[in-house]
Amino acid sequence: EKENWNREKLSLQKSLKQADAELSKLRAEIRSEAFLRELGSDSENVILRRIYGKYLRAESFRKALIYQKKYLLLLLGGFQECEEATLALIARMGGQPSYTDLEIITHHSKGFTRFRSAVRVSIAISR
C-alpha cells in the first residue's frame, strides 16, 4: 500500500511539474502575443519583434541551463554521499584507511566541494 502511495505521489508530482511548465510557457506566449499586438507593422516594429523573439529564446535557454545545473548538482551530491557511506563501511570492516583518515579525506570545505563538482560536470559534458 505504501509502495502504491509512493508511486501515485511521484506520478502526481511529475504531472504537477509538467502542468507548471506548460503554464509558464502559455504565460510567456500570452505576454509575447500582447507585446506583438502593441507593436504595429512598421519596419522598426519588425526589428523589435525579432529582438524580442531572440530575448525569449535566450531566456528559455537560460532557464533550461539552470535546471540542468541543479540536476547535475543533485546527482553529484548523491554520488558523494554514496562514496562516503562506502568508505565508512570499509573503515568499519577494518580495511584501510582508518575512519579518522576518512574524515580528513571526505570532509572538505563547501567551496572546494563545489569546485570539484564543477570540474566533474565539465569533464562529463566534454565527454
The radius of gyration computed from the CA coordinates of the chain, to the nearest angstrom, equals 24
> Do residues 68 and 101 touch, judged by C-beta distance below 8 A?
no
At position 43, the amino acid (one-letter code) is S
For 20-62, the pLDDT digits (tens) are 889 988 888 888 777 777 665 566 777 777 888 888 888 888 8
For 7-30, the pLDDT digits (tens) are 888 888 898 999 988 998 888 888
d(CA 65, CA 98): 40
pTM tops 0.75, yes or no: no
Does the CA dihedral 65-67-71-74 come out positive or negative? Answer: positive
Residue-level pLDDT at 99: 47
Q: Residue 89 class from Cβ within 10 Å (0-12 exposed, 13-18 middle, 19+ buried)?
A: exposed
Residue-level pLDDT at 101: 47
For 69-108, the pLDDT digits (tens) are 877 777 777 777 777 777 776 677 765 554 454 454 556 6
Q: Dihedral of the CA atoms 17, 19, 22, 24 (nearest 10)? A: -70
